[in-house]
Amino acid sequence: MNILWRLVSPNFGPQVCKYSKRSLKSVKFPFGSSNSLVHGIHVFHCPDEVGIVAKLSDCIASRGGNILTADVFVPQDNNVFYSRSEFTFDPAIWPRGEMDEDFFKLSKMFNAMKSVVRVPEIDPKYKIAVLVSKQDHCLVDLLHRWQNGRLPVDITSVISNHDRGPDAHVIRLLERHGIPYYYLPTTMGKKREVEILELVHDTDFLVLARYMQVFSAEFLKSYGKDIINIHHGLLPSFKGGSPSKQAFEAGVKLIGATSHFVSEVLDAGPIIEQMVERVTHRDNLQSFIQKSEDLEKQCLVKAIKSYCELRVLPYEKDKTVVF
């Protein structure tokens, strides 16, 4: 492989209850000053029973923490409990390691399927790799947001099956920030999945920013972590090449975008975020496509932020709870 930050290879979750949303200015801190406090997030998924909220609240309050927001969801026809709490705490009183131990005890007590705590100011950012094909509007948007500190991740690499010249805007932007670009051309019989796995093994999740390749079940199993995808909301009516042109010529009045987790079934994984916008007879093909691409950018960013803020939980087989 030829390396100059750019590697080229010729082979290649319904009803939600919300409680106590308060600003930091309105909160009284019994332990220490507000300057010493940091922000934590905890999500919980377990079989439903009486007393879960009380135990979660006591776990935080007994350590001097203060709950700012608590969202709870219990399906009417399913005996499961979902919650997401945001709280402030003093690390000197409640060290990060002890916090993990306390929430782990709660997860054992209630046989939790999922219990995750995150402290954005202390914990490292999620590491991601972005995969992209020819269309790079989503990639460029992610890079600019990341550059401006508006995307809570570290982008470790960009992988593409489309070659970009050294003077391309994306390449110059990546080189300026020291992010490697891997060009791995694909064919029908060679998806380069082994090489991709080697490049992304230390990431926390993957983002497909208009990557027009389908991963095999073997790849998904080997990677073993979440993959977030974005696609236009014109499916299933306008399949194949130039879907926006097809939709424009059909005179549709509503367009959209969908961001979802990748599963073995094409474009059918659990949905994280969806957005829609109206188009009219006044739109030409260029404005139609621009609106569609803008929706894709916004929808993908919203899904990534929701994921990083622990707002997304699995619900039933193919659904999500999104607090």
Sheet of 254-261, strand order: 6-8, 181-183, 153-160, 126-132, 205-208, 227-232, 254-261, 271-278
C-beta of residue 213 within 8 angstroms of C-beta of residue 186? yes
Q: How far apart are CA 102 and CA 63, in angstroms?
A: 10
Give 235's Cβ-side CA count (13 Å radius): 13
Displacement of CA 181 from its chain's centroid (Å): 21
C-beta of residue 226 within 8 angstroms of C-beta of residue 269? no
Is 226 annotated as catalytic? Answer: no
Residues 6 or more apart in contact with residue 218 via CB below 8 angstroms: 193
What phi and psi, each to the nearest 5 degrees, are found at residue 75?
A: -60, 145
Sheet of 38-47, strand order: 17-19, 66-73, 80-89, 38-47, 114-118
C-beta of residue 300 within 8 angstroms of C-beta of residue 143? no
Q: How far apart are CA 82 and CA 36, in angstroms?
A: 30
Evaluated on CA atoms 277, 151, 303, 184, the torsion sign reads positive
Displacement of CA 300 from its chain's centroid (Å): 8
The bridge status of strand 181-183 relative to strand 6-8 is parallel
Selecting among 77, 267, 283, 318, the annotated active-site residue is 267
Evaluated on CA atoms 282, 285, 290, 292, the torsion sign reads positive
Q: How far apart are CA 184 and CA 199, in angstroms?
A: 11
* Active-site annotation, residues: 267
